[in-house]
Amino acid sequence: MTSKQKTYLFFALIPIVALLLYLRHSRPDPSDPRVIAEKISGLEIPDGARLIEKMVRDDGTVQICFELTADQMEDLWYAAEKKNYLKIPGRNTDQENMSGSNDGWTLVNFETVDLNLVELSVLNKATNQLCVVSGTSASIPK
């Protein structure tokens, strides 16, 4: 191979390598709490949301909570309403959690993935928090 051919080959590989690097970094990390929360909740977590809790228990239950600004909470609330997530039959949707105590939590999304796995999302407008939980139905706190 001549030096001219090597030069052409080198410059031809630069865009290919750049594209591969771009594609590698453009995919979200599946272990990122934001990616996990978006998958469970079905909602897009705003960029400025601050991670305040990430807990993984021995039984495999995952709990992730984000603190949002008031504007982010309104946007997320609107997105949940638009997807009909706040109107889940048989669940409290009037600022009450599943146990019925009025502490500001509203169930957003509840899904039984299979016989054992349950995923749920809750919003608290009073504290501007979004929490998501994924685990077995026996392990999720009531």
Q: What is the pLDDT of residues 104-140, one digit of tens each?
A: 667 776 777 666 677 888 888 888 898 888 887 555 5
Residue 89 has a pLDDT of: 45
Residue type, 71: D
DSSP string, 78-117: HHHHHTTTT--TTS--SS--TT---SSEEEEEEEE-SSSE
Q: Does residue 38 fall inside a structural domain?
A: yes
Residue linked to tokens 């929360």: 37
Render pLDDT for 11-34 as a digit per residue (tens, 0 to 9).
888 888 888 888 777 677 777 888
Domain that holds residue 115: 29-136
Question: Hey, which residues does 105 pair with through a beta bridge?
Answer: 124
Number of other residues whose CB lies within 10 A of the CB of residue 27: 8
**Domain for residue 24, yes or no?**
no
Total domains in the chain come to: 1
Does any domain span residue 9? no
Average pLDDT score over the chain: 77
**Within-domain flag for 115:** yes
Q: What is the mean pLDDT of residues 33-44?
A: 86
| pLDDT at residue 102 greater than cutoff 60 | no
pTM exceeding the 0.85 threshold for the entire prediction: no
**Structural domain contains residue 90:** yes
